[in-house]
Structure 1
Amino acid sequence: MASAHPEIQVRKIVEYVEETRTEHGRPLDRPHRVAIVGAVIANPYPAEYVQDLVTLADAVGERVGALVGPRCVELLGEEVEAFGKAALVGLDGEVEHGSALIHNLRFGNVFRDAAKGTELLPAAEKVGAAGAPIDIPLKHKLDAKTRSHHQTVTFQVPGAPLPREIVVICAAANAGRPLARLAAFGAEVAS
């Protein structure tokens, strides 16, 4: 069984910021910024099947969250309005390994608190080869029904994850989609 404080082996941290100033030929009122931080860690789960994934996720969740969550908020450099998370598991792991790590309140609360959010973090997880992209869904940090903030960002790390690694990722945006103009949630069925 896992020790109370298993070691987290970090190979690299990758930070990415995208700033959009015009969209569809129109200048934006302010730049739309997205920050993403990914930690490439050794898969803490054994290569063979184990039934209990929760005990280890509980033991490391807060420390893994601390690697990426607060750093993502700091990298954005302004108030977070939308956020999301993801896990990309190397080929010798299983998608459930990534799910166990990021679908754990000890992980999510670190990011949620840093972003001053209240909603559950939307997530994506999959198994992929080194360099595989992953699309990270974002939603409003206070109200997941705010349509203007539903957006997806793509992230990849050349050379990661290796077969026994997981890339754990947090993403944050300073606003909803550039030029968002959809009606409020439910407007299409309101009488």
Structure 2
Amino acid sequence: MDLIAIRKIATFVEEERHEFGPPPAAPLIRGTVAVVMNNPYAGGYVEDITPLMETLKPVGKEMAARLIAAMGKRPEEIEGYGKGAIVGAAGELEHGALWHVPGGWGMREVLGHTKAIVPSSKKIGTLGTSIDIPVHHVNAAYVRSHFTAIEVRLPDAPRPAELVYVLAMTSGARPHARVGGLEAGDIKGEDGQR
């Protein structure tokens, strides 16, 4: 049995050109890509679910490449990232946790320059369930200017035996970020935190 059967891929990109105050020099580009697929472990308890993680790695990599292209950016222009999962009602939260490795690995493979852990969220849901994907700086988790979230919602997913896996990226900080803390230009890049 094939572990993966993708029903659909949804990509969303937005361009923020103004946020009160003066217009920024360049718009902030924010994007998400979501894959809706079968949950091979839905409907009952399966002890070893880890085979799906390895099978998902090429999916994560393809999604990351697709999102960067949709955003019209080069990998080195991506400054923020995050990931998440919505598990249909016939699955368990742990099926969403399977996305930690392939989602993060896929983005790191395509971006090629990241050091910070990829923030994540997961939940159980039904058709139209929304999820907020946390985002922070790709090289230093403590850069406050890049703390944000992007909401994702697909009206027809997840069905009970489906999974929705999501990647999110941004091209920069929040418009007019001014709450202090570590500046992106001051990142040391030694531990993914500072």
One fold, TM greater than 0.5?
Answer: yes
**1:66 equivalenced with 2:61 (yes/no):** yes
Q: Distance in 1 between matches of 2:176 and 2:103?
A: 32
Q: Distance in 1 between matches of 2:86 and 2:29?
A: 23
Which secondary structure does the structure 2 equivalent of 1:137 belong to? Answer: strand
Shift of 1:56: 2.8
Partner of 1:32: 28
Shift of 1:27: 1.5
Superposition pairs for residues 71-110 of structure 1, below 5 Å? Answer: 71-78=66-73, 79-100=77-98, 102-104=99-101, 106-110=102-106
Partner of 2:127: 130
Which secondary structure does the structure 1 equivalent of 2:46 belong to? Answer: coil
Deviations 1:36-91 (A, max 9, x none): 10010111224211122223323x13123134222112222121100000111111
Q: Distance in 1 between matches of 2:154 and 2:110?
A: 24
Q: Distance in 2 between matches of 1:67 and 1:99?
A: 19
Q: Distance in 1 between matches of 2:154 and 2:139?
A: 29
Q: Distance in 1 between matches of 2:24 and 2:156?
A: 35
Q: Which consecutive unaligned segments of at least 5 residues does structure 2 have? A: 183-194
Please tell me the root mean square deviation across aligned C-alpha atoms, in Å: 1.5
**1:175 equivalenced with 2:172 (yes/no):** yes
Q: Distance in 1 between matches of 2:104 and 2:21?
A: 37
Which secondary structure does the structure 1 equivalent of 2:25 belong to? Answer: strand
Equivalent position to 1:54, from 50, 58, 61: 50
TM-score by length of 1: 0.87
Sequence identity (%): 36
Q: Distance in 2 between matches of 1:70 and 1:118?
A: 18
Partner of 1:188: none
TM-score by length of 2: 0.86
Shift of 1:29: 1.8
Q: Which consecutive unaligned segments of at least 5 residues does structure 1 have? A: 186-191
Partner of 1:189: none
